[in-house]
């Protein structure tokens, strides 16, 4: 993974920051994944521990946030396996379909969560 000690900014699109299901961590993690996908050639292979270090949280917190991002359709995950079929790492990508899926969040009207989800407190 590239040295990320240099300053950089995170991009958080309206389709995610206006989605009431997403937590602040989900938004920051999406922004970090977006950045890492750009600098790593389209996919991010950072571990939960590496992402947790960058966002100053625990790896299991990253795991829960990644699960929400996957379930909501913001990212995709592909497991990279060795010749024996054992997963050796994962590759995360930003799923550009989220732009169409969550276009409803681009207007200024407040939106309620999708019916199958409840607002986090």
Within-domain flag for 6: no
Residue 81 structural domain = 25-102
Q: Where do the DSSP E strands lie in the chain?
A: 75-81, 87-94
pLDDT for the residue 109: 57
Q: Measure the CA–CA gap between 69 and 75, rounded to whole angstroms.
A: 6
Within-domain flag for 108: no
Within-domain flag for 91: yes
pLDDT for the residue 70: 95
Within-domain flag for 53: yes
Q: Measure the CA–CA gap between 33 and 49, rounded to whole angstroms.
A: 14
Within-domain flag for 37: yes
CA-based nearest residue to 24, from 50, 61, 59, 60 = 61
Domain count, the chain: 1
Within-domain flag for 92: yes
Cβ atoms 89, 49 nearer than 8 A = no
Q: Measure the CA–CA gap between 100 and 45, rounded to whole angstroms.
A: 26
pLDDT, mean of each 10-residue run, the chain (121 residues):
64 88 94 93 95 96 96 94 90 91 71 55 49
Q: Residue 57 is part of a domain; what is its CATH number?
A: 1.10.10.10
């Amino acid at each position: 993974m590239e040295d990320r000690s240099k300053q950089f900014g995170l991009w958080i699109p309206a389709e995610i920051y206006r989605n009431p299901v997403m937590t602040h961590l989900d938004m920051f993690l999406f922004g970090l994944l977006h950045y890492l996908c750009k600098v790593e050639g389209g996919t991010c292979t950072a571990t939960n521990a590496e992402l947790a270090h960058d966002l100053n949280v625990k790896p299991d917190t990253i795991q829960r946030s990644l699960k929400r991002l996957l379930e909501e359709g913001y990212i995709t995950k592909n497991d990279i396996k060795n010749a024996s079929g054992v997963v050796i790492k994962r590759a995360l990508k930003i799923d550009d379909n989220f732009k169409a899926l969550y276009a409803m969040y681009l207007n200024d009207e407040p939106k309620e969560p999708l019916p199958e989800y409840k607002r986090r407190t």
